[in-house]
Structure 1
Amino acid sequence: MPAPANAGRKYPAEPLTPDEAQALIDAITGRGPLAVRNRALVALMWRSGLRVSEALALRPADVDERQGTVRVREGKGRKDRVAVIDSRGLGYVRAWTEVRRGLGLNGRQPLFCSVGAGAQRQAGQPLDPSYVRRLLPKLGTAAGIDKRVHPHGLRHTMATEMVERGLPLHVIAGQLGHSSTATTDTYLAKLMPSDRIKAMRAAGWDLDEQP
């Protein structure tokens, strides 16, 4: 598997807003299998917080529409977990599942797999994470998003939303697949230093005074 072009480089986290994340999905135009698949993939990564490798390893049976869950069978550290997904994400996945079935694909093949048929690329083959890493910046440009858009940014977006909704640390840790809440605490401190912002506002760094 080729390493990302930015391997080894550190960038500041730039979580997307929910509107920006939706704009990425809306930038995928068309009704063909490729467009339906890509909309479902971006939606699932955003609404569940899965890593790109975890999303691409899913099988159709790993998505439980009745419970609204996604089973990650081998996440980071070779640990499995169950992530929650909402109706918005499931709607896109459901549309892809129907198209996927029409292509003659079965449950043994990855949920998000190739749709092309031919000598070089058969339908049903696994996707490489590098494909998603190339796709998302293009969608960001098409959607007019000035932030750096990449797979882990969708995970940042989900984490930020969970913090803003007041979910406890252990719930966020479980959703993201972190081994401990200490890992999540460090992760969130870099992502959005809400505690520091709150403390400084209380100490007088407010937004009420005008120059």
Structure 2
Amino acid sequence: MSSYLSQVPANSLRQRMIDDMNMRRYSRETQRNYVRDVARVATYLGRPPDTATAEDLRQFQIDQRASGMGVPTMNSIVAALRFFFTHTLDRPDLSRKLFTVKHPRALPVVLSPDEVARLLDATTCLKHQAALSVAYGAGLRVAEVAMLKVRDIDSERMLLRVERGKGGQYRNAILPADLLILLREWWRVGRQQGVMHADGWLFPGQHEMKPISTRHLHRIVAEAARSAGITKKVGPHTLRHSFATHLLEDGVNIRVIQALLGHAKLETTAFYTKVATRTARAVISPLDKLALLPAPQPQVSPDG
């Protein structure tokens, strides 16, 4: 068991928190992050986190900020602590003492369709190409790709069932025809290799009974991008960003994109309008309609 788990004081308390997250169908990665972040408080206090006072939490956040911790990390810890105090300890009064920090959201890195094609072609094996193709072709989060099972492929309705997305939500993602062909080829090869089973993971890890890790998927993307000569800083989520942006540029309704991505708020999806350059280029400026500049005159040759 990892050290951060052992720092959460009592096994019963730790298990209670895990049970609370399981009831709400939180993903395995979210559970790991939440337990780790509650352990930060235990380490900071030098005692169990269920003994924390409002002043303890206030000082903890002040010291976080003073240490130069990034805002996204600080806000992630707040989400974990709010869950712990609200659901596991039934202390919403302490949860209300925690605050999130607003910060300007950086524009996501988006690949062009040509760059996506080069990246997918630069993968070193069929399994890796299929996994990254799912991330781009269906717009899945990296944890959602990792947790897919063979039975989640619905070839009759051309859908991928995402059983435990962010927040434990269920949804259907699209299954493009070319992606289905690729996944069927991976199924054939995986069966020959003895790592694919009808009730197993779509992308098994080093041990076939466990799924591929999100960390491994990050490495696969980074190595493929390097091999493809792509200098942008990319990760698996870059493929999801590119999926949403390319759909928006192709005129797909933003509400449809919101549903495909599993976004709870439309404003989250609307953020992609800031990077949809093809959409911006298609807009005719009102200045062009004023016809302020004289029309170009036809060129007259010296011979008349």
CA distance in 2 between counterparts of 1:167 and 1:95 reads 29
TM-score (normalised: structure 2)? 0.56
Aligned to 1:62: 152
Report if the CA contact (8 A) 1:17-1:157 is conserved: yes
Shift of 1:151: 0.7
The amino acid that maps onto 1:50 is L
Report if the CA contact (8 A) 2:246-2:276 is conserved: no
CA distance in 2 between counterparts of 1:201 and 1:85 reads 37
Report if the CA contact (8 A) 2:159-2:175 is conserved: yes
Gaps of 5+ in 1: 30-34, 115-120
CA distance in 2 between counterparts of 1:153 and 1:86 reads 19
Structure number with greater CO (CA < 8 Å, separation at least 6) is: 1
CA distance in 1 between counterparts of 2:172 and 2:161 reads 5
In the TM superposition, what whole-angstrom CA distance separates every residue of 1:24-76 from its partner, at most 9, and x where no partner exists?
111124xxxxx111010011111100001011111101112232211100111
- The answer to whether structure 1 residue 28 and structure 2 residue 118 are counterparts is no
Give SS of 1:83's match: strand
Aligned to 1:47: 137
In the TM superposition, what whole-angstrom CA distance separates every residue of 1:72-110 from its partner, at most 9, and x where no partner exists?
001111110001121222222111111122233323321
Matches within 5 A, 1:139-154: 139-154=224-239
Aligned residues with identical type, % of pairs = 29
Give SS of 1:46's match: helix
Match of 1:88 among 157, 178, 182: 178
Tell me which protein shows more helix as a share of its residues. Answer: 2
Give SS of 2:172's match: strand
Larger Rg: 2
Give SS of 1:70's match: strand
CA distance in 1 between counterparts of 2:162 and 2:286 reads 41
- The answer to whether structure 1 residue 134 and structure 2 residue 219 are counterparts is yes
CA distance in 2 between counterparts of 1:166 and 1:189 reads 11
Give SS of 2:199's match: coil
Runs of 4+ deviating beyond 4 Å: 6-11, 193-200
CA distance in 2 between counterparts of 1:110 and 1:93 reads 12
CA distance in 2 between counterparts of 1:197 and 1:154 reads 22
The amino acid that maps onto 1:151 is P
Match of 2:254 among 169, 175, 179: 169
Give SS of 2:285's match: helix
- The answer to whether structure 1 residue 37 and structure 2 residue 117 are counterparts is no
CA distance in 1 between counterparts of 2:275 and 2:175 reads 21
- The answer to whether structure 1 residue 16 and structure 2 residue 111 are counterparts is yes
- Residues 196 and 203 of structure 1: CA distance in aligned 2, closer, same or farther (over 3 Å): farther
When the two chains are superposed, the root-mean-square deviation of aligned CA atoms in Å is 2.7
- Residues 193 and 23 of structure 1: CA distance in aligned 2, closer, same or farther (over 3 Å): closer
Give SS of 1:148's match: coil
